[in-house]
Chain A
Amino acid sequence: MRHIALASVAAALALPAAASDADLKALREEIAQMKKTYESRIESLEKRLVGAESAADKAGEQARAAQSAAAAAPARGTAAAGGFNPEVSLILQGQYRRMKEVPERSITGYWPAGGHDHGGDERGFTLDHSELVVSANVNPYFRGLLNVALKGGEAEVEEAYFQTLGLGKGFTLKGGRFLSGIGYINEQHPHAWDFADAPLMMKALFGEHYGQDGLQLKWVAPTDLFMEFGAEIGRGAGFPGTDRNKNSAGASALFAHVGGDVGRSHAWRAGLSWLTTRAREREAHFEDTDAAGPNEVEGLFTGRSRTVVADFVWKWAPDGNPKQRNLKLQAEVFRRTEHGNLDCASDVVTSPCVGGLGLGNLRSAQTGGYTQAVWQFMPRWRVGYRYDWLNAGSKRYDPATVFVALDPANAYFTSYRPKRHSLMADWSQDEFSRLRLQFARDKSMQGVTDNQVTLQYIMSLGAHGAHKF
């Protein structure tokens, strides 16, 4: 713009100087005037240009925000999440934990479940299992899911099952490895828990949760009241059973759930479940009565184990909207009875258990449970309290036989009642991220009061992952 103006001025100056001085003066004045107006015009044009540029930016932003209907490609087809694309989600979890150093943590009075455990025994900064979940409809009749837990160079298949979609009449068949439908919390993966660790009851019963390698058949009744009945048969390799390498089923379970709404703001579910399995030479560490000093020997249980679990959940959300405020009450109780034989074994020559020793009949009946309340008092923020208790229950054996080989001071034989109080507060930006602080006063081991502090994060990437009630 400026170039054109200058060029025209130059052209005007280059005109043949045939005019008089007065004319020349007038011309000069005119040119000076022109120059002035052009400059001011250019200045205003520049200002307008800058204004237009920023306006265009804003308009662009708005256009992106509200894409016009014409530009938007129509997205067609049903079931955006299914189709041929599997739903993939990845859950990242880790924690910092401050607690007492106790070698070989186990719950006093209970046969140690060992085996499956999502950490919780490590102090300081730890990485929890990272869960990778892939699921998709196989075809119109089946759906498949894989849940792999990764930790420290190990990949453990938590769940890998198919589920029918087309059986109809309320029936669903599941096959493969899956979390058993017994109780309430058993089917939840750790990222869905309301506390940083599993209830003591679950640790004592199953190590953490009970998984089946087998089949589950479920039926939902055609009634207004939700009623669901299920039966499972499986390998039964998990605690309290052991892998027994046989052709028939190693464990079976039955469960029933009922549930419904009370008004617009309340919903509940209650259940009763039963699990039976067998153990062969299930191991636990005991101290023997060797006169030369106690040795650590293997206690071995062979027999039947039956567990009954009753569960209850009540949720409150004003007008059915849990986003702002909600309350969740949850409780489960159990009774486990075991009946079989106790043996002990050791390699130490001076041990009474050397080469294996039968200690006669062992019968036990133990009960316990937990109850918890989690309250979301404002968006994103929740607080919760959980109380865990276990009863030593009754154990019937012949002391004259058992205490010849095993020290009566062994934790298993005491009548201690483990307890734990947990308080937690968590913050969730949305359903994909959660940060949690938890204090627990853990008295699950006789003679130890362990005040634990846990700081935990749970991040979910990918598919929305709808959770069960």
Chain B
Amino acid sequence: MAERTQRQKPTGDRDAEVVEEAAPATNEAGEKLKGELDDLLDEIDEVLETNAEDFVKSYVQKGGQ
């Protein structure tokens, strides 16, 4: 197997940023995200095309570049 390429050494600045962003999300933030997704999924339940199978089947787009 070929050797894996040497990862480009990030600049000092980016190292700091990555570490900062890599900090684990607090439970609070995680809960907030989950709540947002739940709200979004509620909305999708309301607006998703009612007969998904027919909608998907009839969506045909020929003749494109």
Chains A and B bind each other: no
Residues of A within 8 A of B (CB): none
